[in-house]
C-alpha cells in the first residue's frame, strides 16, 4: 500500500539529466552482469526465483532508461 508521501501516488513526473540517466544505466548494467554470472543451479528454488525476477526487473529498467535517453523525454540540460 502506498503512503501519502509516495510520488507515484501523486503521479508527479520526475525529470532527470542525461548524466543522471547515464550513471543509473551504468550502475544497473553492472548489477545485471553480476546477477547473470551467478550459478543458478547452486541456488535454492526461492533464491532462483528471486534472482530471475531481479534480472527481469533490471532489464526492464535498463530498457526504460534507454528509451528515455533516445526520445529525450523529460530530460533537463546537463548543468556544467
**CB of 78 within 8 A of CB of 17?**
yes
Residue 8 inside a domain? The answer is: no
Q: Quote the pLDDT of residue 75.
A: 55
Q: Quote the pLDDT of residue 80.
A: 43
Q: Give dist(CA 5, CA 27) in Å, integer.
A: 26
pLDDT, one tens digit per residue, over 29-69 is 999 999 999 999 999 999 999 999 999 999 999 999 999 98
Show the domain range for 24.
16-69
Reduce the DSSP state of residue 80 to 3 states and report it.
coil
Q: Total structural domains in the chain? A: 1
pTM passes above 0.75? no
Q: Give dist(CA 51, CA 47) in Å, integer.
A: 6
Amino acid at each position: 500500500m502506498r503512503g501519502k508521501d509516495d510520488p507515484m501516488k501523486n503521479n508527479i513526473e520526475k525529470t532527470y539529466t542525461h548524466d543522471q540517466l547515464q550513471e543509473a544505466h551504468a550502475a544497473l548494467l553492472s548489477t545485471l552482469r553480476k546477477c547473470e554470472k551467478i550459478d543458478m543451479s547452486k541456488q535454492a528454488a526461492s533464491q532462483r526465483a528471486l534472482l530471475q525476477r531481479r534480472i527481469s526487473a533490471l532489464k526492464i529498467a535498463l530498457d526504460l532508461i534507454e528509451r528515455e535517453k533516445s526520445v529525450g523525454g523529460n530530460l533537463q540540460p546537463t548543468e556544467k
